[in-house]
Structure 1
Amino acid sequence: MKAALGIAGLGGAALFGGFLAFVACVERDERPLDGRADGIVALTGGAQRIGDAIDLLANGYGRRLLITGVNERTSRDEIARLNPSQRHWITCCVDLDYRARNTIGNAIETRRWMRLHRFSTVAVVTSNYHMPRTLVELDHALPGIERVVPYPVVAEGFDAGRWWQHPAAARLLASEYLKFLVAWVRTRFEDDPERSRAAILMGRGKPTKVVVEPRLMQGRP
């Protein structure tokens, strides 16, 4: 009994230590993008992601932008209406993916899009707390890719550095940490995300995320 309790205690300590390490790697502040890339990919689901990604495109940080995980009711015109100053870029250089329903799907659609355009480098835009899991999925889906440049978006009012003072932030980080662990373990055993049983099970009956916020956003990935 004591041995079992000791093992459980060690496991809990290791899990909590991993959580602290995970929180430590979550970016606290937005920074300029570290270098340019062939393409830019924005994952829907969190505030500011789409606007920031279009700004990166307009400033020459990539040649095309893929917005992945778009709700089927959200059109290019709707995105342009909400970003009127960037209408030119949305018309000429933005691709919309309506198929991805989770982060695995985002990675799969990113791979297809990059192969279509023969891109070898990509900048990825998503929320800071979601970036570690996104990079795990992209590393799995894009073996041998030349470069993935992360651009973590920090939502206003979300302070990962003081998570213990904010129950909502603590719950979000804990949930994302567990999802990160599951993704890391899963990708050690799966050869190809497109044949992932986990992706199929997770996607069943799940509505596609919406690209615009806050009025139409249904939730984060």
Structure 2
Amino acid sequence: MTMGHTTPNPIHQDPELDRPAGLPPRRGPIRRLLRWGGFACLLAIALVFGGFLRFADSVTTLKPPTEPKADAIVVLTGGYQRIDQAVELLQKGAGKRLLISGAHPTTTPAQIRKMTQGSADLFSCCVDIGYDAIDTIGNAEEASNWIHAKGYRSVLIVTNNYHMPRSLAELSYVDPDIEFIAYPVVNSDLKSRNWFTDPNAMRVMLAEYVKVLLTGARNITGFGRHTGLRSASASGQN
């Protein structure tokens, strides 16, 4: 009897059929990647949301010190109420000198004095106006130059409560050796009312929180950082 060659079976056996009963099927690399990617996205969303809640709580609970005292005062422009408060602190002796940082180039000292009802003597002796800053980064740079020129070591920072975390982050990045003391200006009592039901308040808080996150990333990586000064912008265009 002639023995013929055995013909191999062209149909491949599914490896999943050889797996013991009760074991789940193997997951492909793409499915595993999508699964872990989904977990990472959920974790990132939870961290961002938790960070916003922490940011909102810190802003709504910010209060001015009961007896503010420092070598000098810096107010970041963005509202007349900030400047009013800063001039009042100067009048009370909370600091030796005041810098109004980020004033518009067309704004004159006389206009600011009239708006705050400050005395001419106070403005002539103890108030400096900075016109170079165009944003919060510029405020920090302008304030740092002024602080070092005057030789101050501690400074009261006057700005709105929601703007304070980002302002302190920028100032501390530029000048980590200076003591910056927060003096928040509270336009409305966010702690005692449901600000999260107010669309305008929620919009401001969310926008500022995003800016805080971007500030932290920029200060860590250095990517996208600029001087925020008009003089630097003008020299870069020449």
TM-score for both structures, normalised by structure 1: 0.81
Cα distance in 2, alignment partners of residues 68 and 203 from structure 1: 11
**Aligned-residue offset at 1:29:** 6.3
Structure number with bigger Rg: 2
Q: Which amino acid aligns with 1:189?
A: T
1:72-87 map, 5 Å: 72-87=105-120
**Aligned-residue offset at 1:33:** 4.8
Does 2:190 correspond to 1:159? yes
Cα displacement string for residues 113-147 of structure 1 (whole angstroms, at most 9, x for unaligned residues):
011101111000000000000111111111222x2
Corresponding residue for residue 198 of structure 1: 225
Instruction: Give percent identity, aligned residues only.
Output: 38
Q: Which amino acid aligns with 1:74?
A: T
Corresponding residue for residue 205 of structure 2: 173
Does 2:153 correspond to 1:106? no
Cα distance in 2, alignment partners of residues 167 and 6 from structure 1: 31
Cα distance in 2, alignment partners of residues 2 and 32 from structure 1: 49
**Aligned-residue offset at 1:8:** 1.1
Q: 1:187 to 1:29 in 2, by over 3 A?
A: closer
Cα distance in 1, alignment partners of residues 109 and 115 from structure 2: 10
**Aligned-residue offset at 1:197:** 4.4
1:1-221 map, 5 Å: 1-28=34-61, 30-145=63-178, 147-156=179-188, 159=190, 162-190=194-222, 197-199=224-226
3-state SS, counterpart of residue 45 of structure 1: coil
**Divergent runs of 4+, >6 A:** none
Cα distance in 2, alignment partners of residues 95 and 117 from structure 1: 11
Structure 2's unaligned 5+ residue stretches are 1-33, 231-238
Check conservation: 1:28, 1:154, Cα contact below 8 A: no
3-state SS, counterpart of residue 100 of structure 1: coil
3-state SS, counterpart of residue 129 of structure 1: helix
Corresponding residue for residue 18 of structure 2: none
Structure 1's unaligned 5+ residue stretches are 191-195, 205-221
Q: Which amino acid aligns with 2:190?
A: D
Q: 1:164 to 1:197 in 2, by over 3 A?
A: closer
Cα distance in 1, alignment partners of residues 206 and 67 from structure 2: 28
Higher relative contact order (CA 8 A, sep 6+): 1
Cα distance in 2, alignment partners of residues 180 and 138 from structure 1: 13
Q: CA RMSD in A?
A: 2.1
Check conservation: 1:57, 1:63, Cα contact below 8 A: yes
Cα distance in 1, alignment partners of residues 169 and 149 from structure 2: 22
Cα distance in 1, alignment partners of residues 174 and 66 from structure 2: 22
**Aligned-residue offset at 1:47:** 4.6
**Aligned-residue offset at 1:86:** 3.6
Cα displacement string for residues 130-168 of structure 1 (whole angstroms, at most 9, x for unaligned residues):
0000111111111222x2111000114x62662321111
Cα distance in 1, alignment partners of residues 229 and 147 from structure 2: 22
The number of aligned residues is 196
Cα distance in 1, alignment partners of residues 176 and 190 from structure 2: 33
3-state SS, counterpart of residue 130 of structure 1: helix
